């Protein structure tokens, strides 16, 4: 579920950190800048892994900080397709079950990706799997907070930055503003297979 992304970026280290080790100062800046951010087509950034290459540092007129081009590897949350993960149910509504991993909770299992014969119980506000076995029908409730095993089937990145009126979409790789863009990363999951669903369903 976690991968390493290799990224090149110019980092500004403010003057008050000049007394610190350069790599240490840059690491701090990178952690501040990217941790807990979603990067388009990369994933949710967690923490800096290491700095691979560090270029020369520059100072610019009117700016007390130094600017350094670095290549670094960052730990990113980006499960692959069909990966099996375990999380907890955060919420149920008529259209889907939302699952959280604590640090990431945009995981949705839509109604048609639940086990066959699942129904939404309006009164309890949960989804129920009506499981039929030889000794009759069982109602398996999907309560909030329960641990659930699911399979990743789809991901999508959406740019949620408010767009300036009349602006053309420029080549985004050259656009320095890109770093400030707001992205949302959503995962669609499925539990429509034996072994998937609440952990308690499949125990012994």
Contact residues: another protein, CB under 8 A: 1-9, 24, 27-29, 31-32, 35-37, 39, 41-43, 46-47, 49, 71, 73, 75-78, 80, 82-84, 86, 101-103, 149, 151, 173, 178-179, 193-196, 202, 204
| Residues in Cβ contact with 20 at an 8 Å cutoff, skipping those fewer than 6 apart | none
Residue 101 C-beta: closest distance to another protein, Å: 5
Angle at Cα 185 formed by Cα 106 and Cα 175, nearest 5°? Answer: 155
Q: What is the dihedral of CA 104, 158, 41, 45, to 10 degrees?
A: -30
Considering beta carbons, is residue 87 or 120 the nearer one to another protein?
A: 87
Residue 125 C-beta: closest distance to another protein, Å: 25
- Within 10 Å of residue 165's Cβ, how many Cβ atoms? 5
Residue 189 tokens, joined: 């999951």
Residue 59 tokens, joined: 């100072």
- Strands, DSSP E only, in 60-95? 66-77, 84-92
Considering beta carbons, is residue 117 or 195 the nearer one to another protein?
A: 195
Considering beta carbons, is residue 116 or 173 the nearer one to another protein?
A: 173
- Give the separation between CA 67 and CA 70, rounded to whole angstroms: 10
Residue 22 C-beta: closest distance to another protein, Å: 14
Residue 65 C-beta: closest distance to another protein, Å: 15
- Give the separation between CA 4 and CA 30, rounded to whole angstroms: 15
Considering beta carbons, is residue 32 or 164 the nearer one to another protein?
A: 32
Considering beta carbons, is residue 78 or 118 the nearer one to another protein?
A: 78
- Give the separation between CA 55 and CA 159, rounded to whole angstroms: 31
Residue 195 tokens, joined: 């072994």
Considering beta carbons, is residue 57 or 69 the nearer one to another protein?
A: 69
Residue 37 C-beta: closest distance to another protein, Å: 7
Residue 192 C-beta: closest distance to another protein, Å: 12
Secondary structure class of 173 (helix, strand, coil): helix
């Amino acid at each position: 579920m976690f991968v390493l992304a290799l990224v090149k970026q110019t980092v500004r280290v403010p003057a008050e950190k000049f007394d610190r080790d350069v790599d240490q100062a840059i690491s701090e800046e990178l952690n501040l800048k990217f941790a807990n951010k979603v990067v388009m087509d990369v994933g949710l950034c967690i923490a800096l892994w290491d700095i691979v290459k560090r270029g020369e540092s520059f100072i610019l007129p009117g700016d007390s900080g130094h600017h350094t081009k670095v290549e670094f590897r960052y730990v990113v949350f980006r499960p692959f397709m069909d990966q099996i993960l375990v999380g907890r149910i955060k919420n149920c509504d008529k259209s889907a079950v939302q699952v959280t991993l604590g640090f990431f909770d945009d995981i949705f299992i839509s109604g048609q990706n639940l086990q066959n014969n699942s129904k939404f119980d309006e009164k309890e506000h949960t989804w129920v799997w009506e499981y039929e076995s030889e000794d009759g029908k069982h109602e398996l409730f999907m309560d909030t907070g329960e641990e659930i095993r699911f399979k990743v089937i789809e991901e999508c990145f959406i740019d949620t930055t408010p767009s300036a009126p009349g602006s053309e979409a420029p080549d985004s790789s050259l656009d320095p503003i890109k770093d400030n863009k707001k992205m949302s990363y959503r995962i669609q999951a499925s539990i429509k297979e034996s072994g998937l669903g609440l952990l308690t369903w499949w125990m012994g």
